[in-house]
Amino acid sequence: MLSETALAPGDEIAISLRLPHQRVSTFIDRATVRWVKDSVFGVEFSLLSPIAVTRLGKCVIRGIHPSPPLSATDTSAQPLR
């Protein structure tokens, strides 16, 4: 993912994703930042609602993976406090 927010490995965040072929955003209740390089970072999902599991599953089943990292206009990452 891509974010203008400064993040560090170990940070816990909440994420709102706009997934391909889905009309509404999918909210990830908790994810842990695992790596950061410049403004690009990778996360491990820690807490998913049943609807988020379903929506992410549909995306994976279709084999849809965004080529470039999701941009800040597609995601929002908020540190959990």
- State the first-to-last Cα distance of the chain, in angstroms, to the nearest integer: 21
Q: For residue 69, is it within any domain?
A: yes
pTM, two decimal places: 0.66
Q: For residue 5, is it within any domain?
A: no
pLDDT per residue rounded down to tens, the chain (81 residues): 888 888 999 999 999 988 888 888 999 999 999 999 988 999 999 888 999 999 888 888 777 555 555 544 444 555 554
17: domain range? 12-79
Is the Cβ–Cβ distance between 38 and 2 less than 8 Å?
A: no
Q: What is the C-alpha to C-alpha distance for residues 57 and 36, in angstroms, rounded to an integer?
A: 25
Q: In terms of DSSP H, where are the helices of the chain?
A: 50-61
Is the Cβ–Cβ distance between 31 and 44 less than 8 Å?
A: yes
How many domains is the chain partitioned into structurally? 1
Q: For residue 53, is it within any domain?
A: yes
